[in-house]
Amino acid sequence: MEFLVDILLLSDSTLRVAGPLILAALAGLCAERAGIVDIGLEGKMLAAAFAAASAASVTASPWAGLLAGIVASVLLSLLHGYVSINQRGNQIVSGMAINIMVAGLAPTLANAWFSRGGQTPLLPSEARFTEITLPFADAISGVPLLGAIYSDLLSGHSLLTYVAFVAVPTVGWILYKTRFGLRLRAVGENPEAVDTAGISVTLLRYQAMIIAGILCGISGSALSTALGAGFIRDMSAGKGFLALAAMIFGKWKPVPTLLACLLFAFVDALQGRLQGVALPLVGEIPVQFTIMLPYVLTVIILAGFVGKMEAPKASGIPYEKDR
Amino acid sequence: MSVAPAIETRNLCKRFGAVQANDNVSLLVDQGSVHGIVGENGAGKSTLLKMLFGFYQPNSGDLIINGVPLAFDSPSEAMAAGIAMVHQHFMLVEPFTVLENIILGAEGQPMLKHAMTDARAKLLGLEQQFGFDLPLDTPVSQLSVGERQRVEILKALFRGADILILDEPTAVLTPQECDQLFDLVRLLKSRGKTILFVTHKLHEIMAITDAVTVIRAGKVVTCTATASTTPDDLAEAMVGAKISRTVTREAKDHRSPRLRVDGVSALSDHGHDALKAITFDVYDGEVLGVAGVAGNGQTELLEVLTGLRPVSSGRVELDGILINADDVQRGPTKLRQMGLAHIAEDRLKTGVVATMTATENAILGYQHDPDFCQNGLLKLSAIDRAANTYFDSQDVRPRDPTLPVASFSGGNQQKLVIARELARDPQTLIIGQPTRGVDIGAVTKIHDQITELRNAGKALLVVSADLDELMAISDRIAVMCGGELVGIVPIQDADERTLGLMMAGASGAPHSEEASA
Amino acid sequence: MSAVPAKLPGAVEAVLMPFLNIMVALFVSGLVVWGLGEDPFFALSLLIEGAFGYEEAIGYTFYYATNFIFTGLAVSVAFHAGHFNIGGEGQAMLGGLGLTLAVLWLGDTAPVLSIFLAIIGAAVFGAAWAFIPAWLQAKRGSHIVITTIMFNFIASAFLAYLLVGPLQRPGGQMPESSDFPDGTGLMQFHEVLEMVGIRFEQSPLNASFLIALMAAFGVWFLLTRTRFGYEMRVAGKNAHAAAFAGVSVSRVTIIALMLSGALAGMMGLNELLGEQLRLIGNFTLGYGFVGIAVAFMGRNHPLGIVLAAVLFGVLYQGGAELAFEMPNITRDLIVVIQGLVILFAGAMPHLLRKPVALLYARMARKGAV
């Protein structure tokens, strides 16, 4: 029984941690499917987390926070778009520039606005996206197994977690069922074909960057207004890069990417649970080693022990009309 | 004649920086005709076409389509006016199906499901009308080159094109596929379509067009009915002064094999069988041409011979020494030391580093040579001297080896590469696409050089997509299809029809190889 | 129609363009300062005063610059080989560990020998930490940006473990090692100057500055004078051409990235062996990332990197004074400037090309008339 409870708790925190990861991975997916490598997810998440926490703290409304988070992230997306599309710059360098810039700017502004050593004030619960109880959750919580799964596992997450899980089929639907999605996938494979078909490569790629910005904005806002209660320095902690790895592991497809994110989130949840727990045979693992788990997993996955990864053909390559 | 011409241009001009790509081009194409446009590489054909379908905008001049003056800001506007272009490099998204490729940009509605249903119905009609039989739900990556071209044409028809521009459509086809294409062009014409047929092969112009325009150095030099001209006249108009070859093949009694390829198989990058049990020899004092439709193993063959790709079985010997087999793979550096030179088929991808200077490129592949490097240190002044020598010997222009290679024209880049590869007096040369992207004057010179090397007793293997080129320089022509060597034809027995059938895998060599075996 | 970059004279290309890009980055930084409610010009004067105003400040400026020369060279060597090594942080941490082990092992018995061993230890450990991402990139195509980032996190956790565990100062509470034995530190710069009769105030600037300059010369020599440097640049620009030329791209990748890791690892010489004289957790303080900005600002040329490193030394030293004087400004601002420099000098090198080309063409025409 205790084991079941453990599993349930672990699954519950997996879902919770997975939310921001899924949204960020989908953001990266939309950008790369359109041919733009977005290594700046990390910075966008951080910027959104900061903007959301700041706005929520001032207005006491999580919605204002979410909006601010999305706006901040979209602006950075457009900057990356400008470098990648108009300036035809190196997309990796641009992404890293954004990551570093935000890592400095967020605490600088936090300090100037709130004077709390680079953090935002702790958000009260009315300024956060708090846990939602799904309909009938209380009613069927008594039903064995099913009740536990529904009311303990599925119910009781913040709105943004549900948004993340809804975003997966939505992005899938846009990519595979709509005209826009067809064009977006085409521009990541062969932009010249799109251009000669009379569709603007520039516009399409900017549209993709805006979608990526929105998704990443929700992701970052979730960090500071749903999972956490305020912005703290470097709170994205490499999640943007984990999301990229999950996207690669998911072969640039929405559902496999979701599964990869769940794996990462599970490992993250597991490392949280393992802290201070004595395991059979090995005893207690030092906390520093459990912290490493998600990062080590990322390296193993990227080492390609899971099959060959093929990126969209044109990703990372600036489009030049005249060649 | 009350029908307005399908296309009329008046004094179209297009400049790129200092280059006048099109200079007062005036063109008249009748409704329902096949109109040829010929010109050398860089004559300005592509620029003209790109203005016709809205990819470029002219600096000045008028464009009149079906009697209506128009100005296209984008390809979609040209498409709306009924003009479509089939590019030389297909504009297809490989992982997409035929259907997805055809509707891309012409979906008509935001939901793919409905767009596809409607398109399918419309395409069935078109396929019947024009005799297509394309698998709509197969990814384009699985189609042959000829099929891809038909997808492009169907794509144009789907968009309601009345004017089709075909840019060098035969460059990648076997002679038999060309015949099929010509049939299709005739059918399109009989259904009232206007076709602009762009090529540099004059016999195609004579075979298929009603009228022909010759472009040279950005200007129209001739515009005439095909019936009232001859290939010789066209050639002269195209080239200006006639350039003829000065070197002829001397009779050679070549008996000693230099390069022996014995039962070689190899895998492609994707792990497919790219070469299947290939056997042939190259003798000194001969040019062995290798023909085939692009992608039939020629690239892998070049790599196997130059130490860039391992064999999966079989053996390659150079001057009696095993260089590539199951357990032996001599690398490019070793092979160069053994007197093998390699002129890469894709110059910019493989043969040079475009962003580095000509001087730095002058030692590419020869960086281990004791003339250029000692104890791991480069001898900079010796390298400078070598680069200058190369510029002199091949007359590379502009004469500035400190410029990055990318800033030279294709022909001058190739001259630099040839100078580099000939500098060590190689006995065996492996050459891919010797004149790709090279202007006509330089082509003749390169052909002469190849013949000179042959006359001097070197062994040469030349892969080319251009049958005319191979016929002009080879002693024997080997034909590849699907990774197999279909056969080797001595030049006196070679003609386009025979080679074409072999390239398509339809027949073996006319009488197989006893002359050289 | 793409903007065909007009040909500009060499000096404009090599000096003016990067200078203008950096000016744009600094201009935007000035806007940030202004946005924080401070006077950017006054801030600039405080910054310069703080960096050059007195001898100790100058010492600090070059002390910081030493770190940045190492990490800038590290990024640059990898970049010439066509790779983006973001792992400078982790490699520096491991380098610090390597030199600490050498010093703690031999420092008591043979201090001078231990210094030499420490220098080698820093380089070897840094190189070793770069080896795994390098091998994965070369052999399995694993995205080196992500793997090196992951290796930063792993290194940080690993070092934290050692410094609260096996390596912690006996009886200590802080995440730091025992002090290095006497006589194992690098010579201070003012001591060097004293030997030639110049009095200079004491500062953390130490002999590793000279090691950094030698490293810069070494990298320049490697890139322009050696076959390996040539092969590395060929592989970095065009892997197909490298294979054609008989260069093993994976071998070059691995060696170049290990060199890069060794350079990053040597950063610890300055911080630990030159100043702290003990291993402390997260002593790298993001200097590995500064290397990216320094490399791009210096256009990946060793001389440029030395100059850019000094400029960042000014920013760090002057910035510290600035943060002290202006309450709304923290040292995080320097990170912002770093990001902006990478953005404008690294990702958008052609931002001002068109206007400059136009201006140049106009001036040339005037000159001709």
Q: Is A288 left (phi over 0), alpha (psi -120 to 50) or beta?
A: alpha
Contacts of B373 in chain C (CB under 8 A): 227
Q: Is B214 left (phi over 0), alpha (psi -120 to 50) or beta?
A: beta
Q: How far B517 CA lies from chain A's nearest CA (Å)?
A: 44
The burial of A253, by beta-carbon neighbours within 10 Å (0-12 exposed, 13-18 middle, 19 or more buried), is given as: middle
Residue C7 lies in a domain: no
**What ipTM, to 2 d.p.?**
0.91
From CA C107, how far away is CA B407, in angstroms rounded?
Answer: 58
Domain that residue C70 falls in: 66-331+339-349
Q: Give the tens place of pLDDT for each residue, B429-453.
A: 999 999 887 776 788 889 999 999 9
Across the interface, whether the CB atoms of C142 and A302 are under 8 A apart is answered: yes
Joined tokens for residue B390: 């190369």
**Cβ contact B351:C241 at 8 Å:** yes
Count of Cβ atoms closer than 10 Å to residue A173 Cβ = 12
Average pLDDT on C157-167 reads 92
pLDDT at C357 over 70: yes
CA distances from C32 to B219, B421, B434, C123 (A): 56, 56, 57, 38
The verdict on B398 touching C (C-beta cutoff 8 Å) is no
Joined tokens for residue A231: 């912005």
Helix/strand/coil for B357: strand
CA dihedral B342, B348, B353, B355 (to 10 degrees): 160
> Does domain A2-122+143-302 fall into CATH 1.10.3470?
yes
From CA B234, how far away is CA C278, in angstroms rounded?
Answer: 84
Quickly list DSSP for B295-316.
TSSHHHHHHHHTTSS--SEEEE
Contacts of C244 in chain B (CB under 8 A): 306, 308, 332, 342, 344, 350-351, 364-365
The verdict on B364 touching C (C-beta cutoff 8 Å) is yes
The verdict on B113 touching A (C-beta cutoff 8 Å) is yes
pLDDT at B253 over 90: no
Identify the pLDDT of residue C5. 44
Q: Which residue of chain B is at minimal alpha-carbon distance from C228?
A: B376
Q: Give the tens place of pLDDT for each residue, B337-351.
A: 999 999 999 998 999
Identify the pLDDT of residue C143. 86
Contacts of C349 in chain A (CB under 8 A): 89
State residue A135 phi and psi, 5-degree precision.
Answer: -55, 145
The burial of B317, by beta-carbon neighbours within 10 Å (0-12 exposed, 13-18 middle, 19 or more buried), is given as: middle
pLDDT at A323 over 60: no
Across the interface, whether the CB atoms of B104 and A182 are under 8 A apart is answered: yes
Give the residues across from B83 on adjacent strands: B163
Across the interface, whether the CB atoms of C347 and A87 are under 8 A apart is answered: yes
Q: Which residue of chain C is at minimal alpha-carbon distance from A287?
A: C161
Identify the pLDDT of residue C157. 94
What angle is formed at CA A206 by the lines to CA A35 and CA A97, rounded to 5 degrees? 75
- The mean pLDDT of chain A is 90
From CA C103, how far away is CA B292, in angstroms rounded?
Answer: 67
From CA A31, how far away is CA A213, in angstroms rounded?
Answer: 9
pLDDT at A151 over 90: no
From CA C148, how far away is CA C139, in angstroms rounded?
Answer: 15
Least confident interval from B82-96, B162-176, B269-283: B162-176
Helix axis angle for C332-341 and C17-35, nearest 10°, is 150
Q: Which residue of chain C is at minimal alpha-carbon distance from B370?
A: C227
Identify the pLDDT of residue C1. 34
Give the residues across from B459 on adjacent strands: B286, B428
**Maximum distance among all alpha carbons in chain B?**
80
Parse chain A into domains and list their residue ranges: 2-122+143-302
Q: Give the tens place of pLDDT for each residue, B362-398.
A: 999 999 999 999 999 999 999 999 999 999 999 888 8
Count of Cβ atoms closer than 10 Å to residue B514 Cβ = 7
Total number of domains in chain C:
1
pLDDT at C10 over 80: no
CA distances from B13 to B9, B35, B100 (A): 10, 21, 36
Helix/strand/coil for B18: coil
Unique residue bearing structure tokens 């794509």: B155
Contacts of B379 in chain C (CB under 8 A): none
pLDDT at C244 over 90: yes
Q: How far C193 CA lies from chain A's nearest CA (Å)?
A: 37
From CA B499, how far away is CA B477, in angstroms rounded?
Answer: 9
pLDDT at C170 over 60: yes
Q: How far apart are the first and last CA of chain A?
A: 67
Cis peptide before B398 (omega within 30 of 0): yes
Identify the pLDDT of residue C368. 60
Least confident interval from A209-218, B128-137, B471-480: B128-137
Unique residue bearing structure tokens 């977690």: A161
Identify the pLDDT of residue C312. 92
Across the interface, whether the CB atoms of C241 and B352 are under 8 A apart is answered: yes
- The mean pLDDT of chain B is 89
The verdict on B336 touching C (C-beta cutoff 8 Å) is yes
Sheet holding B60-65, edge to edge: B19-29, B7-16, B60-65, B68-70
State residue B219 phi and psi, 5-degree precision.
Answer: -120, 155
Contacts of A94 in chain C (CB under 8 A): 343, 346-348
Across the interface, whether the CB atoms of B378 and C225 are under 8 A apart is answered: yes
Across the interface, whether the CB atoms of B112 and A313 are under 8 A apart is answered: no
Residue C358 lies in a domain: no
pLDDT at C158 over 50: yes
Residue C13 lies in a domain: no
Torsion C358-C364-C365-C366 (CA) sign = positive
Identify the pLDDT of residue B321. 94
Among C238, B107, B246, smallest CA distance to A184 is for: B107
Among B304, B396, B391, smallest CA distance to B342 is for: B304
Residue type, C170: P
Q: How far A57 CA lies from chain C's nearest CA (Å)?
A: 19
CA distances from A6 to A148, A263, A274, A287, C24 (A): 12, 17, 11, 19, 55
Q: Which strand (E) or helix (H) includes residue B99?
A: helix B98-103
The CATH code that applies to domain B7-239 is 3.40.50.300
pLDDT at A109 over 90: yes
Quickly list DSSP for B165-206.
EEESTTTTS-HHHHHHHHHHHHHHHHTT-EEEEEES-HHHHH
Among B365, B403, B384, smallest CA distance to C230 is for: B365
pTM: 0.89
**Cβ contact C149:C129 at 8 Å:** no
pLDDT at B517 over 60: no
**Cβ contact C286:C337 at 8 Å:** no
Scanning A224-283 for CB atoms below 8 A from C yields 238, 241, 244-245, 248
Helix/strand/coil for B111: strand
From CA C182, how far away is CA B132, in angstroms rounded?
Answer: 87
Considering only the beta carbons, identify the residue of B74, B93, B100 that sits closest to A198.
Answer: B74
Q: Which residue of chain B is at minimal alpha-carbon distance from C227?
A: B376
Q: Give the tens place of pLDDT for each residue, A127-145.
A: 899 888 888 877 787 777 7
Scanning A105-124 for CB atoms below 8 A from C yields 105, 107-109, 111-112, 118
**Maximum distance among all alpha carbons in chain C?**
81
Joined tokens for residue A92: 């990796």
From CA A199, how far away is CA B75, in angstroms rounded?
Answer: 8
Average pLDDT on B98-117 reads 92
User: What pLDDT band is residue B417 in, cutting at 50, 70 and 90?
Assistant: very high
Q: What does the H/E/C string look like for chain A?
A: CHHHHHHHHHHHHHHHHHHHHHHHHHHHHHHHHCCCCCCCHHHHHHHHHHHHHHHHHHHCCHHHHHHHHHHHHHHHHHHHHHHHHHCCCCHHHHHHHHHHHHHHHHHHHHHHHHCCCCCCCCCCHHHCCCEECCCCHHHHCCCCCHHHHHHHHHCCEEHHHHHHHHHHHHHHHHHHHEHHHHHHHHHHHCHHHHHHCCCCHHHHHHHHHHHHHHHHHHHHHHHHHHHCCCCCCCCCCCHHHHHHHHHHHCCCCHHHHHHHHHHHHHHHHHHHHHCCCEECCCEECCHHHHHHHHHHHHHHHHCCCCCCCCCCCCCCCCCCCCC
Q: Which residue of chain B is at minimal alpha-carbon distance from C221?
A: B377
Chains in contact with B via at least 3 Cβ–Cβ pairs below 8 Å? A, C
From CA B201, how far away is CA B306, in angstroms rounded?
Answer: 32
pLDDT at B215 over 60: yes
